[in-house]
Amino acid sequence: MLFDVNDFLKCEFDRNFNLATKKNIASLLMEAYQLRDECLHAEPILSLTEIGSKDLAAHLLRPAIEKTARTYCLTGKLPFSFLLNLNKAKNSRHILLEAPLSTVYFARTQSVWEKPRRVKYRPVVEMDLFSETNALEEEPHVNTFLVNYGDNKEHELSFAGIGIPGARGWLYYEPLDLRAIAKQEMLQPEQHEEILVQLIEGIDNNVKKAE
């Protein structure tokens, strides 16, 4: 029996992302966007400026996702450990969700099917496409996954998805149904408020450093 690469990739994806995990990742992103928007409204001067409506909105989204992802992992909403990976220049941090055999990265993109062109996101796996062995037993596991997300001009979450990134595009990809996410699947009010306070304090601290 010939090795079916598509079946292999889908099995690897399903092994890491069941329905509950996919819904909670979508919920995480929706929560982060809401926190970002509330933070902008809490500091009116930010939303009244060009940088506040564009660059700063994107800048605030990363810590909102970071803090929400950490809470989701600590409270058991996601079956991963939360880590932050500092780049070589030590001026940017990447969100990592880790399981024993896999790592999940996050990246903002312009469209639902877009994958960042970064070597970092390539899966470390080589497969013989014509192997007659049982792929799930004999071949290595896929260990790199990527969550992509994006919003429109009104700062509303418009798309998100999870996939297995290859060198030039997605090897396997599933868009997330954001409209199916219910409010009760998100953070508790006190958790939401705690993260919002942290985001606002972060802005205040940066302003003080700039003075």
pLDDT block averages, 10 residues each, the chain of length 211: 78 93 92 85 62 64 91 94 78 84 89 74 56 52 89 65 88 86 69 86 57 43
Q: What is the per-residue pLDDT across 52-87, written as a single tens digit (0 to 9) for each?
A: 455 677 778 888 999 999 999 999 999 999 998 876
Side chain identity at residue 211, one-letter code: E
Q: Token pair for residue 72?
A: 């989701």
User: What per-residue confidence (pLDDT) applies to 88?
Assistant: 66
**pLDDT reported for residue 172:** 94
Vertex 78, ends 164 and 175: CA angle to 5°? 40
Q: Would you state the pLDDT for residue 123?
A: 60
Query: What pTM was estimated for this model as a whole?
Result: 0.80
Residue 123 has which token pair? 């899966």
- What is the model's pLDDT at position 4? 78
162 contact partners, CB below 8 Å, separation of at least 6 = 13, 17, 22, 25, 104, 145, 146, 147, 173, 174, 176
| Residue whose pair of structure tokens reads 């942290």 in the numeric block | 198
Q: Is 8 helix (H, G, I), strand (E, B) or coil?
A: helix
Strands (E) in the chain, as ranges, are 81-86, 93-99, 102-108, 144-151, 157-165, 170-175
Contact 139, 133 (CB under 8 A): yes
| Position 82, amino acid | F
